[in-house]
Structure 1
Amino acid sequence: MCDGRKIPLLSKSRFTAGLQCHKRLYLECYSRELADEVSEQQQAIFDAGTDVVALARQLFPGGILIREDYFDHEGAMASTQEALSLPAVPPVYEAAFLYDGVRMRADVLAPQGGERFDLVEVKSTSRVKDEHIYDAAIQLYVLRGRGLTIRRACVCHLNTDYVYEGGDYDLSGLFRVVDVTAECSLVQPEIPALLADMRAMLARPEPPDIPTGRHCTTPYQCQFYGHCHADELEHHVSQLPRAGQGLLSALEAAGIEDIRDIPASFPGLSPLQRRVRDAVLSGRAYLDTELSRRLRRLRPPIHFLDFETFNPALPRYQGSRPYQVIPFQWSLHTLDSDGTLEHREFLHEGAGDPRRAFAESLVSALGDSGPVLVYSGFEASRLRELAFLFPELSPQISAILNGRIVDLLQLVRAYCYHPGFHGSFSIKAVLPALVPNLGYDDLAINDGTLAAMAYAEMVKPDTTRDRRAEIRRNLLAYCERDTLAEVELFRYFTR
């Protein structure tokens, strides 16, 4: 792959990619055509991050934006030097530098007088994470190498304690600027060796032979995940539920990659993992009759409930916080004693806060009788939040929470396993294995992240009427499918 070509320059993103996995860095430099297609969900995350960075710049007003794109680094460096040469140096956004073969663009380079600067790396996260330290540290390495005096290296992130009061954001409350200079300074001595190791690896004719593992998704999902997992075993040991690194390392040391090759006496397996191993080895589903007994005890009307939510990085509604989960849609199937199945639904429309209408309509639809089946504890958590937000509805919501909620996920996890689950108990994995004639592939929206993105688009003021109507149809179809899936799983377990 390298074929004697000149080793490419590194960058902030390539450096952090190499820290995660050398093979990822190699493929990123030489074989980008093997990367997974950027999904709508990933693009939405990137776009949200761009919006957060643009807003954070306002903490350092009067700055100059280096407008050259990332492919014109020479031009960007020239524009940066021009900005830094002004008599009164302003903040510089996307300042570009090159040192020791590493290119970088700083989110904000803020002058502090006396030719000193603060480096500010903006993250759309709610806290400083370990990986952010190396992200800032490589920039500090480059800037100091170029002769700049850096007073502080900082990470600027969203403050989830900030409560939006309406109108313009209070930026000093919305963001926290955390000084990480000490942490970045501690890792400076490591950087030359890390860079040397990466370049030595990039000089090889073939990518390093690195097996798949947790590093494929930690701290970020690698864009070559699909390529590296293309030939993975159907029942790889990584599919063992809640398998810690100790167990996976022990299996690797024993040369075991396939769940079917795990001896019955292998130490360290939990009861659930042994159940998975036995089901995969036999090729048959495990189904404890206790699951059927518990569900048969439920008395009609039996309600099947699902919520859709979104959690915008930048709060939209008065009284909300960054990344606060906002419910905007529910679907409810109700199974009566005569077998009649009734469906009701709610989808908020318009730019206002959906939560009160959501809560009031749901309380009315659920009434005061009948168990409420959900799949996970997600709905119960949202109900508790709504009860706190609307004290006048708290008695009705508390009555739903206290004794009526039945979590089907917990029952499935305790009493059922099918080899087709492949280690996951999500409804998207369980449904096709147990009820193969019902799925999500025919839907335009087929997961919760896409639903959240679609709702955000639907309520934007510039979305056309036709597009809103299309999104509305797709959202209703998706949420209804979720509760129908719960109904069909209930029928499967009680048949």
Structure 2
Amino acid sequence: MKIEPDQSTQARFDAGTHVGELAQQRWPGGVLIDAPYWDVDGALRQTLDALRQTLDALRDPDCSAIYEAGFKAYRTSVRADIMLRVGDHQWELWEVKSVLNPKEIHAVDYAIQRAVIQQWAIDSNFPLQIVRGGILHLNRDYIFDGGALELQELFTEHDLSDTVDDYTNEVQNSFVDAAAVIDDANPPPILPGPHCSDPYGCPFLGTVCEIPPHDELTLLPRIGANRAEVWHSEGIHQLDQLDPNSDDLNVIQSRALRGHVTGELQVGNGLKKQLDSIGYPRYHLDFESTGSWMIL
């Protein structure tokens, strides 16, 4: 049993789905594998048909791309966001992310997909080679002019072709570790903690395992789980135990902690001068609150 996503989480999922659909329109005329993600066998059958159709019709632009292709190897199922045919049995593989800056975990996700697809091709004796690919993400420099979206400009490519092999050992170990957990009759003796939400939230938290107590140290801006774990190892478990003047904190974190400890409103020394330079009327736009609406 898993927890259904709340409205906020579902909104992020919907935004990600919309970005993926826009990315597909960047290369129109492809074949969509529309089998539900839980129908692994159905997705594989559709993907095989699409691949054969593409390879049999090299000059047919309608078969030049595959969206949501499904593969299975290493007891792991993946769905490839976009595959582009670039030659005989040669494909590009692009993982679409609705982010401005790809992270390390995104590169690992891509490496896992690539490894599964290549092993599937070997297991199936199917001629398929991934020759290029990476993360397709939103372009920070794109400016929407109010008209139709310029899809070639909306996205930018983060090519991982030259670095994806650096993740080979990590990916292979993840397959082995996951299989060991699945095959073990007993659940792993790991208590819930920060790892339950990093890098992704666990949908089973609170159902098959208890929700860990809230770690108030993580209330500080941009304090990661690793930093909090170091403090815990030093016997620091509450914000009141931290020093606002500590070198471990940046300016923003120190200001937030000082406000918590003193209970006083924290105002930057240069704020009044900056506001006076703006004049009236004044408007405030919270980018974090509106960002997900920019392309919906």
What TM-score do you get using the length of structure 1 for normalisation? 0.46
Cα distance change on mapping 1:222 and 1:397 into 2, 3 Å? farther
- State the partner residue of 1:218: 198
Cα distance between partner residues in 1 of 2:8 and 2:171: 33
2:66–2:84 CA contact under 8 A, matched in 1: yes
Q: Does 1:117 align with 2:91?
A: yes
- 1:458-494 CA distance string (max 9 Å, x none): xx9xxxxxxxxxxxxxxxxxxxxxxxxxxxxxxxxxx
Does the aligned pair in 1 maintain the 2:218–2:228 contact within 8 Å?
Answer: no
- The change in CA–CA distance for 1:60 and 1:452 in structure 2 (over 3 A counts) is closer
Residue matched to 1:198: 178
- Tell me the equivalent position of 2:124: none
Change (3 A) 1:397 1:122: same
Q: 2:68 aligns with which of 94, 109, 118?
A: 94
SS of the residue corresponding to residue 146 of structure 1 reads helix
1:247 and 1:108 map into 2 onto residues whose CA distance is: 37
Q: Deviations over 1:370-404 (max 9, x none)?
A: xxxxx999xx9xx99xxxxxxxxxxx982249xx9
Note closer, same or farther for the CA distance 1:85–1:231 as it changes in structure 2 (3 Å cut): closer
Cα distance change of structure 1 residues 137 and 239 upon mapping to structure 2, 3 Å threshold: closer
Q: CA deviation at 1:275?
A: 6.7
CA distance in 2, matches of 1:172, 1:122: 14
Deviation by residue 1:422-441 (Cα, 9 ceiling, x = unmatched): xxxxxxxxxxxxxxxxxxxx
Q: May I ask how many residue pairs the two structures share in their alignment?
A: 264
Alignment of 1:359-438 (within 5 A): 398-400=278-280
Q: Distance in 2 between matches of 1:165 and 1:40?
A: 30
| Structure 2 CA distance for partners of 1:145 and 1:269, relative to 1, 3 Å | closer
Cα deviation, residue 221, structure 1: 3.9
Contact 1:120 1:153 survives alignment (8 Å): yes
- One of 2, 12, 15 as aligned partner of 1:48: 15
Structure 1 residue 132: deviation in Å? 1.0
SS class of match (2:21)? helix
1:157-185, CA deviations, whole angstroms, 9 ceiling, x for partnerless residues?
Answer: 11121122343222111111221122221
Instruction: Check conservation: 1:97, 1:143, Cα contact below 8 A.
Output: yes
Distance in structure 2 (CA, Å) of the matches to 1:64 and 1:244: 41
The answer to whether structure 1 residue 169 and structure 2 residue 138 are counterparts is no
Over 3 Å counting, the alpha-carbon distance change for 1:276 and 1:198 in structure 2 is: farther
Partners in 1 of 2:77 and 2:202 — Cα distance? 21
Partner residue, 1:238:
217
Contact 1:240–1:276 (8 Å) recurs in 2: no
- Which consecutive unaligned segments of at least 5 residues does structure 2 have? 122-127
Distance 1:164 1:273 in 2: 35
**Distance across 2 between alignment mates of 1:186 and 1:144:** 16
Aligned pair in 2 of structure 1 residues 219, 209: CA closer, same or farther (>3 Å)?
closer
CA distance in 1, matches of 2:77, 2:42: 13
Would the alpha carbon gap of residues 95 and 241 (structure 1) be closer, same or farther in structure 2, given more than 3 Å must change?
A: closer
- Within 5 Å, give how 1:94-493 maps onto structure 2: 94-147=68-121, 148-202=128-182, 203-213=184-194, 215-224=195-204, 230=211, 232=213, 236=215, 238=217, 241=220, 248-254=228-234, 257=237, 286-287=262-263, 398-400=278-280
Residue among 24, 30, 45 paired with 1:57: 24
Distance 2:218 2:48 in 1: 52
Amino acid at match of 1:45: R
| Contact 2:84/2:92, CA 8 A, preserved across alignment | yes
Distance 1:188 1:244 in 2: 26
Structure 1 segments unaligned to the other structure (5+ residues): 1-31, 280-285, 292-374, 385-395, 406-447, 461-495
Alignment partners' CA distance in 2, 1:251 and 1:53: 39
Find the aligned partners of 1:93 and 1:62 in 2 and give their Cα distance: 10
- Counterpart code for 1:70: Y
1:80 is aligned to 2:47: yes
- Give yes or no for contact 1:68–1:76 (8 Å, CA) kept in 2: yes
Question: Is the radius of gyration larger for structure 1 or structure 2?
Answer: 1
The answer on whether the counterparts of 1:241 and 1:272 sit within 8 Å (CA) in structure 2 is no
The 8 Å contact of residues 96 and 106 in structure 1, kept in 2 or not, is answered as yes
Contact 2:192 2:211 in 1 (8 A): no
RMSD over aligned Cα atoms: 3.9
Q: In percent, how many aligned pairs have the same letter?
A: 31
Q: Deviations over 1:94-151 (max 9, x none)?
A: 1111112111111111111121000111111112221110111011101111232111
Residue 157 of structure 1 aligns to a residue in which SS? strand
Tell me how far apart the structure 1 counterparts of residues 180 and 226 of structure 2 sit (CA, whole Å). 30
Quick one: which amino acid aligns to residue 220 of structure 1?
A: Y
SS at the partner of 1:75? helix
Q: Residue 135 of structure 1 aligns to which amino acid in structure 2?
A: D
Q: Distance in 2 between matches of 1:162 and 1:95?
A: 28
Question: Per-residue deviation at 1:88?
Answer: 1.4
CA positional deviation for 1:217: 4.0
Distance of 2:76 and 2:129 partners within structure 1 = 18
